[in-house]
Structure 1
Amino acid sequence: MTVISQSIFKAYDIRGIVDKTLTEDVCFLVGQALGTKAREKGVSHICVGRDGRLSGPRLQCALMRGIREAGIGVYDIGAVPTPVLYFSTVYLKTGSGVAVTGSHNPPDYNGLKMMLAGETLYGETIQDLYKAIVADILYTAEEKGSYEKVDVLPAYMKSITDDVKFSRPIKIVIDAGNGIAGPTAAALFKTLGAEVEELYTNVDGNFPNHHPDPSKPANLQDLIKALKEGDSEVGLAFDGDGDRLGVVTKDGEIIYPDRQAMLFAGDILSKRPGATIVYDVKCTRNIKPFVESRGGKAVMSRTGHSLIKAKMKEVNADFAGEMSGHIFFHDRWPGFDDGVYAGTRMIEILTRFADANEPLKNLPNAVSTPELQIPTAEGENFELVEKIKQNAKFEDAKDIITIDGIRVEWDDGFALARPSNTTPVVVLRFEADSEDALKRIQQRFKDEILRVEPNARIPF
């Protein structure tokens, strides 16, 4: 009997430590559970791909065996960025796929991002897989599902090169952090006509240079150095599985994803008046007036790539941006998060300007903190945020938003506290018009949290 830990069944995906909580046996059972659900939904085939982690090949094999055990066919997409796997579900018309990926987690982690019948699995639908495995409600077919290896990379590349056009030659730096996006991104930008200076674009699951997570400034220092010392105009960074984008200007300024989202939204609204733009609760409050001043509709969503995809479907959005770096285009692209495609759209916009950095520098900006964290015991992060929501008093605030944690807005800034769905912490974020306003808002929020929970370990 395989011991399976419920702890790996997260809010947006399955994730665990390889050979401890995430084993080949576990992947086989998850595959069989997915295959069982696929049968219920009338799905005949599931696309399966993997990132560049060392454990990927064997975990992918185990997962595919499990899917086929339930009589469902498998298209083996191979080692590709997660967005290429998402693309394969559209291209091969399955609406169903699994990316075996640890994303930006340490090398000893791996995981599964899953979609079935056009729906990204999250929350209860992921817990349902766990329940089916524990209750042993798994279908075993008399005849195993089919297996076919399919190379969708050429079709993915062609779809982008047919769609995106650069207005002039440009030299860029790409830092893939030895993640799976490196070879694809380098080849794609060269095909589109850019000159590419490559940093760590070879795939190495040990991640020997820096962690493949562009949301952390420490991981962008090599990119910043290359831009300052060389003649490239702008820098792009990708995370471990290629579904998130980082952007750095020539002088080393990091353009965080909520500001990237404004650039993309403005471009889309210039061609699609009245378009709906989705953004998550962690994003700058500058997005809403930026979108509305250009005739668009701005809709705030809960954080999480699966939740944002669901919100986009609900409101029929043309675009969504998430603070973590997931960027979703649904104007000329199928609506999944794709850091590599987002990078091409970024350069498409920038090459319309003689100075590629001008449109980035002109984006509205604010003083803000990085993501801060209050550490808690497992599960207590949700309890703490609920306590704050129920008992904290912010009579001086302009608005209080509780769709995902609590976001308190004043005329000159905001404070956010939300429970992480992946680790036992409360995530804090603050933004304001000035340093003084930021300090005031942080202190105001801190005082109120400590009044509600005196033992909270606030990191400032």
Structure 2
Amino acid sequence: MPPIFGTSGLRGLVTELTDDLVHAHIRAFLAACPHGGTVHVGRDLRDSSPRIAATVIDAIRGAGLAAVDCGAVPTPALALSAMARGHAAVMVTGSHIPADRNGLKFYLSGGEIAKSDETAILDALRTGGAPDAAQGSLEQDPDCAARYVARYVDGFGAEALSGLRIGVYEHSSVARDTLGEIVEGLGAEAVRLARSDSFIPVDTEAVDPDTRAALAGWADEHALDAIISTDGDADRPMVADAQGAMIPGDVLGPLTARLLGARIVVTPVSSNTLIDRVDGIEVRRTRIGSPFVIAGMEAALAENASAAVVGYEANGGFLLGFAARGPNGALAPLMTRDAVLPIVAPLAAARAEGRGLAQLAARLPPRFTAADRLQEVPSERSMALIETLRRNPDARAAFFDTGSAEAGIDETDGLRVTFANGEIVHLRPSGNAPECRLYTEADSPDRAQALLAHHLDRLAARLREAG
């Protein structure tokens, strides 16, 4: 599958992310989008990222702009640093996908690029990007991650997690050191776990059984109050409770929104419907992908510039659209997916109430989700199956098996089928990887998992037949 530029930026096999291809996309970005004369550059911990980051910096400087090299830093830390100075940013990362792939994420001075920016970049890619100019300057920024740590220590206070033992699953997350510093800065003891010298593609939305077993084992072995981690570039959180059981991203989102006093929540159609039952919150649904969430947040702010609006995705990435207050201080808006806020806020809320994370989550309306993906499936094959199911009720009846009649379908993004018993099964082809995503929702976690396993087997069988 050749490199694709889309909702999550540019992604592809490392062998196909040539210097020329990377250079062309950077020059297209510079021609199409405002940048403030300077572009900040960060990278994750993949073996291929330093080479690609060097190419990005060369392309920026070759266009006559200043480049700020932030090194290996979390994506939201890079965005926060660039936004504070009114500059653009480029993150070299493949996020949660395997190490043989990589990519670029693009940021403006206000946050992530929107769909309109994506279109402009593609147009510039076809017509020619920013031309060569006298070489721009290069600045090193060794304090980018430290400012990100300070954001949360200042906002939540040095005692916010006092007395807690928090496991930090380090693996190859670019935030592994940063997470430990934040936990300790908030007064907890950080227990560092499973640091890896090789890249591990952790997908916080589809955690494999071996990792779930490891989380439970660490929680018991080290007497932990919680375990935290992120995906590779740290814009998606992973949180487990004192038993090592996962707290899904679309549960962390409502907990965080409630702590911050949000009044409008923008979230994709795939997120847990429990948020629709939380009093005092208006929910606006979008297609899947942070650009769509951002567009929904911007629409809310256009209606009311002081709206207390936030966004989150089912993967847990949280976007703050207003000047909020933490328990100890201000939290400036950050219109990009952030992993740390939906980690720290629920932990701080649970500690302040004298509860565990599981108890805190249990106070939300009882709806449960599960998600996984079928990998190495061409997108066109997934889309063909979904189209067949979309237009043919008999095909849907044969494929979906919940023991209940179909009550309705939602085609906002992929095919989301709701059944008379309230259960939901949702199919969606990935927009940036050869994967087909599967989401389920039910009134118990066991039932959501059973629906997931059953329909994942059916999905694999159907897509193998089509191959």
Q: Name the TM tier (shorter chain).
A: 0.7 to 0.9
Any unmatched runs of 5+ in structure 2? 302-307, 325-330, 398-404
The secondary structure found in structure 2 opposite 1:176 is: strand
Correspondences of 1:83-122 after superposition (within 5 Å): 83-94=76-87, 96-118=88-110, 120-121=112-113
Equivalent residue for 1:302?
Answer: 287
Any unmatched runs of 5+ in structure 1? none
Q: State how far apart, in whole Å, the 1-side matches of 2:259 and 2:408 are.
A: 29
Displacement, 1:335? 2.9
Correspondences of 1:15-414 after superposition (within 5 Å): 15-18=11-14, 20-38=15-33, 41=34, 43-94=36-87, 96-118=88-110, 120-121=112-113, 125-126=117-118, 128-130=120-122, 132-135=124-127, 137-150=128-141, 151-165=143-157, 166=160, 168-201=162-195, 204=197, 206-207=198-199, 211-215=201-205, 216-217=207-208, 218-268=210-260, 271-272=261-262, 275-290=263-278, 294-316=279-301, 318-330=309-321, 331=324, 332=331, 333-357=333-357, 358-366=359-367, 368-373=369-374, 377-392=378-393, 397-410=406-419, 411-414=421-424
Displacement, 1:456? 4.9
Give the aligned residue type for 1:364: P
Asked whether the 8 Å contact 1:32–1:68 carries over to 2, the reply is no
Cα gap change, 1:63 to 1:307, in 2 (>3 Å):
same
RMSD of equivalent CA atoms: 3.2
Give the aligned residue type for 2:30: G
The secondary structure found in structure 2 opposite 1:351 is: helix
Cα gap change, 1:223 to 1:143, in 2 (>3 Å):
same
Give the aligned residue type for 2:24: L
Equivalent residue for 1:13?
Answer: 9
Asked whether the 8 Å contact 1:171–1:233 carries over to 2, the reply is yes
Q: State how far apart, in whole Å, the 2-side matches of 1:397 and 1:389 are.
A: 13
Q: State how far apart, in whole Å, the 2-side matches of 1:62 and 1:182 are.
A: 25
Displacement, 1:97? 0.8
Asked whether the 8 Å contact 1:235–1:249 carries over to 2, the reply is yes
**Residue-pair matches, total:** 434
The secondary structure found in structure 2 opposite 1:105 is: coil
Give the aligned residue type for 2:12: G
Q: State how far apart, in whole Å, the 2-side matches of 1:308 and 1:24 are.
A: 32
Give the aligned residue type for 1:33: A
Cα gap change, 1:439 to 1:31, in 2 (>3 Å):
closer
Q: State how far apart, in whole Å, the 2-side matches of 1:373 and 1:187 are.
A: 36
Give the aligned residue type for 1:145: G
Cα gap change, 1:436 to 1:103, in 2 (>3 Å):
closer
Cα gap change, 1:174 to 1:314, in 2 (>3 Å):
same
Asked whether the 8 Å contact 1:17–1:108 carries over to 2, the reply is yes
Asked whether the 8 Å contact 1:8–1:21 carries over to 2, the reply is no
The secondary structure found in structure 1 opposite 2:342 is: helix
Displacement, 1:55? 1.8
Asked whether the 8 Å contact 1:12–1:121 carries over to 2, the reply is no
The secondary structure found in structure 2 opposite 1:9 is: strand
Displacement, 1:201? 4.8
Displacement, 1:119? 5.5
Give the aligned residue type for 2:280: G
The secondary structure found in structure 2 opposite 1:254 is: coil
The secondary structure found in structure 1 opposite 2:16 is: coil
What percentage of aligned pairs have identical amino acids? Answer: 25
Give the aligned residue type for 2:344: T
- Alpha-carbon deviations, 1:42-89, whole Å to 9, x = none? 631111111112222221111111122222221221211111111112
Q: State how far apart, in whole Å, the 2-side matches of 1:261 and 1:118 are.
A: 22
TM-score (norm 1): 0.84
Displacement, 1:422? 1.9
The secondary structure found in structure 2 opposite 1:379 is: helix
Give the aligned residue type for 2:416: R
Cα gap change, 1:100 to 1:348, in 2 (>3 Å):
same
TM-score (norm 2): 0.83
Q: State how far apart, in whole Å, the 2-side matches of 1:398 and 1:443 are.
A: 22
- Alpha-carbon deviations, 1:136-165, whole Å to 9, x = none? x13324322222222322322222211113
Give the aligned residue type for 1:321: Y
Asked whether the 8 Å contact 1:29–1:63 carries over to 2, the reply is no
Q: Does 1:430 align with 2:440?
A: yes
Cα gap change, 1:49 to 1:440, in 2 (>3 Å):
closer
Displacement, 1:420? 1.6
Asked whether the 8 Å contact 1:24–1:59 carries over to 2, the reply is yes
The secondary structure found in structure 2 opposite 1:287 is: helix
Q: State how far apart, in whole Å, the 2-side matches of 1:359 and 1:344 are.
A: 13
Q: State how far apart, in whole Å, the 1-side matches of 2:45 and 2:376 are.
A: 31
Give the aligned residue type for 2:433: T
Cα gap change, 1:259 to 1:119, in 2 (>3 Å):
closer
Q: Is 383-392 or 46-55 further displaced after alignment?
A: 383-392
Cα gap change, 1:392 to 1:245, in 2 (>3 Å):
same
- Alpha-carbon deviations, 1:389-440, whole Å to 9, x = none? 3333789544432211222223522221222212344423222236998799
Q: State how far apart, in whole Å, the 2-side matches of 1:104 and 1:440 are.
A: 25
Q: State how far apart, in whole Å, the 1-side matches of 2:297 and 2:30 are.
A: 27
Q: State how far apart, in whole Å, the 2-side matches of 1:413 and 1:174 are.
A: 34
